[in-house]
Structure 1
Amino acid sequence: MLDAFAKAKQAEIAALEALAAAGDFPAPWAGERPSFVESLLRRGPGAIIAEYKRASPSRGDIAPELRAADVAMAYARGGAAAVSVLTQEEHFRGRLEFLDEAAGCGLPLLRKDFILHPLQVRRTAATPASAVLLIARMVPVERLALLVPLCRELGLTAVTEIFDEADLHRARQAGARVIQVNNRDLDTLAVNLDVSRAMVARRIPGEIWISASGITRHAEVAEMAAKGYDAVLVGTSLMEGGDPAGALERLRSGEGET
């Protein structure tokens, strides 16, 4: 799947290169970006990054009728620490404009997409996003080592996603400080929370750690917090059913769990 995701981004990168060559590249966002890290630390351990996710390759359509602005506001009212916004079009039915629509919630926004090129980072900096996802195994470590400091230079937090120890080594080589452990294998789409349970033993002081994918219950949020994660990222289980506000409330309270 990672190869398919990377292939799907080539047209976007070519369009950004054409904009840059023509001198028409969008200017950086002039507004305030709430601190992604500070918000997680203020709410954590157990902070929730709630995701606006309309579809996925594993589930198909999830909630394409829900608007980014409405969902982000519901998440803010429900106590989320940040909002992750999927912007990838082909496989997730996302759009970059969803970041602008979600910005009114006042929470830090994480752009979740497949970022392979510095111009994608610069384009993200032209939106209200506070953070951007980088996937360690999708680019050579030399490219990752350019993207991480570029994010910092542009006022964005680089959230570097890993799946195993090799990815963690690459992330640290690139200077990453915010580490997201994905419990979903993006090659097979299988989910296993044991990935997060095992990887957190490799955490070192000064890093921010996030567990992502497969978390559906308050007990799992509490478990990840107890094991040393600053936050969890939750998408599908909040969006399916068409009531993200209620789903977030139940996830935070544990109401109805046995």
Structure 2
Amino acid sequence: MLEKFRRAKEAEIHVLRQMAADETLPKPLSMQRPSLRRALLSRGPGAVIAEYKRASPSKGLINAAWTPRQAAEGYARAGAAALSVLTEEVHFQGSLDFLPVMAEPGLPVLRKDFLLHPLQVLQTAATPASALLLIARMLTLAELEAMLVACRDHGLEAVVEVFDTTDLAKAKAAAASIIQVNNRDLDKLTTGLRISEELIEHRASGEVWISASGMHSAEDMRRMQGVGYDGLLIGTRLMQETDPGIALTKLLEEMNGA
């Protein structure tokens, strides 16, 4: 599956290379970006990163009626610590144009996409995003290190996503400081929280950890909170509702025993 996503990004990277050669790439924004790390540490364990995801390869169209502005306002009002935004266009119906709108409430925004080249980091720096996602399995160690350097150079935080111990070893070798465990089995396209419980045993001092995918209830969220996850990324579970903001309010109330 990841190889399919890699191929889908080839045209985008080609365009960015041409823009770089022509010196027409948008310039990085000069701004103080809210910190995802600080937001999770101040609100966690169990701080929610609420995701705006219109579609996915496994679910098809999820919720195209809810706009990015409604998402930003609804999630912020519900108590999200940060926002995640799918920007991949081919398979997730996302757009870079969602990022400025989602940043309006002032919460840290994570760009979630398949980012493989430092020019995509520069592209992200031209938006108000605070952080971007790097999938360890899609990058060699040298490529991951280069992407992390590019993030630091442009004032962006990097969330390095892992699926197993091999991915985690690569993330740690690259000195990733924000690690996201994806609970999805890429072969079976199923989810289970056991991998999050297993991998967090390898957490080192100074690292911030996020659990993503497969949390369907407040009980699931408390389970991940209980083993020490600073952040919980909730996407499809919310976006399947008519009003994901109200759905998040209810989940947080249940999780916190209100």
Interval containing the TM-score (normalised by the shorter chain): over 0.9
Aligned runs of 1:84-233 on 2, under 5 Å? Answer: 84-233=84-233
The corresponding residue for 1:78 is: 78
Residue 112 of structure 1 deviates from its aligned partner by 0.1
> Structure 2 CA distance, aligned partners of 1:245 and 1:57?
23
The corresponding residue for 2:248 is: 248
Residue 206 of structure 1 deviates from its aligned partner by 0.8
Residues 66 and 243, structure 2, Cα contact 8 Å, conserved in 1: no
Residues 69 and 105, structure 1, Cα contact 8 Å, conserved in 2: no
The corresponding residue for 2:35 is: 35
Residues 159 and 178, structure 1, Cα contact 8 Å, conserved in 2: yes
Residue 253 of structure 1 deviates from its aligned partner by 1.2
Q: What is the TM-score normalised by the length of structure 1? A: 0.97
The corresponding residue for 2:66 is: 66
> Structure 2 CA distance, aligned partners of 1:9 and 1:188?
23
Q: What is the TM-score normalised by the length of structure 2? A: 0.97
AA paired with 1:97? D
Unaligned runs of 5+ in 2: none
> Structure 1 CA distance, aligned partners of 2:182 and 2:27?
32
AA paired with 1:169? A
Residue 30 of structure 1 deviates from its aligned partner by 2.2
Unaligned runs of 5+ in 1: none
Residues 86 and 112, structure 1, Cα contact 8 Å, conserved in 2: yes
> Structure 1 CA distance, aligned partners of 2:118 and 2:188?
28
The corresponding residue for 1:234 is: 234
Instruction: Look up the SS of the partner of 1:161 in the other structure.
Output: strand
Q: Let me know the Cα RMSD of the aligned residues.
A: 1.2
**Count of matched residue positions in the alignment of Structure 1 and Structure 2:** 256
Q: Percent identity?
A: 52
Residue 86 of structure 1 deviates from its aligned partner by 0.2
